[in-house]
């Protein structure tokens, strides 16, 4: 689901948490600096979803980097979208790619990458990475800053 093409309709209003990612609205606002390439980063260190088999919670640290074109994602709507996964049963790979695809579909960024750093399930951490292609030339692309899972060692 999407809001109108001209801007945010959730910002500054009481908004209930969407019951599912399909119901979540990703608002977008015009990019005032669409003439240059720059990186915008969203970090969600407490992302949760549900295991589709056991119904138990899964936890991840998500890092979303994108180079906007004409649109920016409105951060409140992004938070609500990510929160909508709390009752959504899906595998790690599906959650991570679903988030990236929705953002690409809604924003049409010049470039986007996502790192899904998932905490262990069944003793094995599953990290999921995806990007739309090659980043723009001369873009400052900092490391995502999340170490791979090392346990207590």
The neighbour count for residue 107, using CB atoms within 10 Å, is 19
Tell me whether residue 8 is in a domain: no
Where residue 121 sits, what CATH number does that domain have?
3.30.1130.10
User: Is 148 a domain residue?
Assistant: no
Per-residue confidence (pLDDT) for residue 153, from 0 to 100: 61
- DSSP three-state, residue 57: strand
- How many folded domains does the chain comprise? 1
Q: Does 139 reside within a domain?
A: no
Of the candidates 27, 37, 51, 69, the residue annotated as catalytic is: 51
Range of the structural domain that residue 39 is part of: 28-131
Q: Would residue 94 show up in a list of annotated catalytic residues for this protein?
A: no
Q: Which of 4, 27, 35, 58 is catalytic?
A: 58
What string of pLDDT tens digits covers the 153 residues of the chain?
444 455 567 766 778 889 999 999 999 999 999 999 999 999 999 999 999 999 999 999 999 999 999 999 999 999 999 999 999 999 999 999 999 999 999 999 999 999 999 999 888 889 999 999 999 999 999 999 998 887 766
DSSP code per residue over 29-57: EE-TTTTS---EEEEEEEEEEE-TTT--E
58 is catalytic: yes
pTM above 0.75, yes or no: yes
Q: What is the pLDDT of residue 122?
A: 82
Domain-embedded: residue 93: yes
């Amino acid at each position: 689901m999407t809001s109108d093409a001209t801007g945010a309709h959730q910002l500054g209003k009481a908004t209930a948490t969407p019951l599912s990612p399909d119901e979540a609205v990703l608002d977008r606002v015009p990019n005032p600096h669409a003439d240059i390439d720059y990186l915008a980063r969203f970090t969600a260190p407490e992302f949760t979803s549900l295991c589709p088999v056991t119904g138990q919670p899964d936890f991840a640290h998500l890092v979303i980097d994108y180079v906007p074109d004409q649109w920016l994602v409105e951060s409140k709507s992004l938070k609500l979208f990510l929160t909508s996964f709390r009752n959504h049963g899906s595998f790690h790979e599906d959650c991570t790619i679903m988030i990236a695809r929705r953002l690409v579909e809604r924003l049409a960024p010049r470039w986007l990458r996502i790192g899904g750093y998932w905490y262990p399930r069944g003793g094995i951490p599953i990290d999921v990475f995806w990007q739309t292609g090659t980043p723009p030339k001369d873009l400052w692309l900092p490391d995502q800053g999340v170490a791979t899972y090392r346990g207590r060692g």
